[in-house]
Structure 1
Amino acid sequence: MKKKFIKKIYIAFSKLIIPLFYDKKYLKGRHFDNNIKGWYWCWRNLFMQKIIGYNRTCPFPVSFRNEIGQWKNIKFDIDDLNNFQHYGVYFQSWHCDITIGKGTYIAPNVGLITENHDINNLDQHNEPEPIKIGKSCWIGMNAVILPGVCLGDNTIVGAGAVVTRSFPEGNCVVGGVPAKKIKSLETINDNND
């Protein structure tokens, strides 16, 4: 009984203070509605993000250990705010979109790169290309997704993989350097037929 009361007070206090620092549209969903986790992320990130300045302009809580290029170019479902709470994830979205499908999980130390240096002149960049990750994907630790890559729904990217080309068909496991299709996955619906 006492824990429930403390949780209610914590959430009520958070609902009063946190909207002063973060956009209200990001303070809802599975991590906030009757859940303490989202509010905890806000409090944990508040000092480093809003006062010290790591990812300061982001209107949602982001771990200071991540790098967000341009938050406006990242498209994601509010229920997947957990992807911004790890460490070492590099969202290079300065000039191009990164779209992350609903239910996708991104492990720590992942790089999502929308533009590379020109190999003939390292002071220049190639034209940026968007990254699109489908629904219910899992990007393993230390993986790198390069410009223009599209991953279909239910794609698993193995830890340490460097994904240089698209796998739009989805329902597969990819891994290696450069990443190749390792195996196909049956979807839950296929198993029920």
Structure 2
Amino acid sequence: MVLRAILFQKILGFNRACRFPVSHQSVVSNGKNLLFDPDDFNNLWHFGCYFQNFDATIQIGKGTYIAPNVGIITADHDLEDLDAHQPGKPVVIGEKCWIGMNAVILPGVVLGDRTVVGAGAVVTKSFPEGRCVLGGVPARKIRDL
């Protein structure tokens, strides 16, 4: 899997700006603003993920698992000029979290350690206390862990 990512990045140019292997079916808009533990780069092999972090950081804690088709964004489009983005807000995901398939995490969200985000959830606000299960659209706390 890693060799395939390297082939697509270095030879074919998919996600070429990233300094780490990324699935050719995922998008990382700015590899410099994606912060994670080097031992956890396998999270970026999943297909269909979208890490939009033009001018703000996405920080992913150690031991966090990100499922396929997850979207994490740091800025929305400007409604007055759809070719532009609003100023970015960093996204912070704590340690040992689990982000389920097709979940979306929106700008400015902070998730504390051991937060589980259910499949298909849209996280619009922060849950910095962590140790909880989130689900729904918009995501709400389903229970504590």
TM bucket by the smaller chain?
over 0.9
The residue correspondences of 1:88-99 to structure 2 (distance < 5 A) are 88-99=48-59
| Aligned pair partner of 1:77 in 33, 37, 40 | 37
CA distance in 1, matches of 2:54, 2:14: 16
On the 8 A contact 2:115/2:132 being kept in 1, the answer is: yes
Looking at both structures, which has the greater relative contact order when contacts are Cα pairs under 8 Å and sequence separation is at least 6?
Answer: 2
Structure 1 residue 167: deviation in Å? Answer: 0.3
Structure 1 residue 123: deviation in Å? Answer: 3.3
CA distance in 2, matches of 1:68, 1:59: 11
| Aligned pair partner of 1:151 in 108, 111, 119 | 111
| Aligned pair partner of 1:137 in 97, 114, 122 | 97
Structure 2 gap segments, 5+ residues each: none
Identity of aligned residues (%): 61
User: In the alignment, residue 104 of structure 2 is paired with which amino acid?
Assistant: V
Q: Post-superposition, which runs of at least 4 consecutive aligned residues in structure 1 deviate over 4 A?
A: none
User: In the alignment, residue 47 of structure 1 is paired with which amino acid?
Assistant: L
Match of 1:86 in 2: 46
**CA RMSD after TM alignment:** 1.1
Q: Which has the higher helix share?
A: 1
Structure 1 residue 46: deviation in Å? Answer: 2.4
| Aligned pair partner of 1:114 in 74, 78, 82 | 74
Of stretches 102-111 and 49-58 in structure 1, the one that deviates more from structure 2 is 49-58
CA distance in 2, matches of 1:46, 1:181: 38
Structure showing greater radius of gyration is 1
CA distance in 1, matches of 2:85, 2:35: 23
TM-score normalised by structure 1 residue count: 0.73
- After superposition, give the CA deviation of every residue in 1:23-72 in whole Å (9 maximum; x if it has no partner): xxxxxxxxxxxxxxxxx51x222221111100112121111111011111
On the 8 A contact 2:50/2:69 being kept in 1, the answer is: yes
Match of 1:191 in 2: none
TM-score normalised by structure 2 residue count: 0.96
Structure 1 residue 138: deviation in Å? Answer: 0.2
How many matched pairs? 145
Match of 1:123 in 2: 83
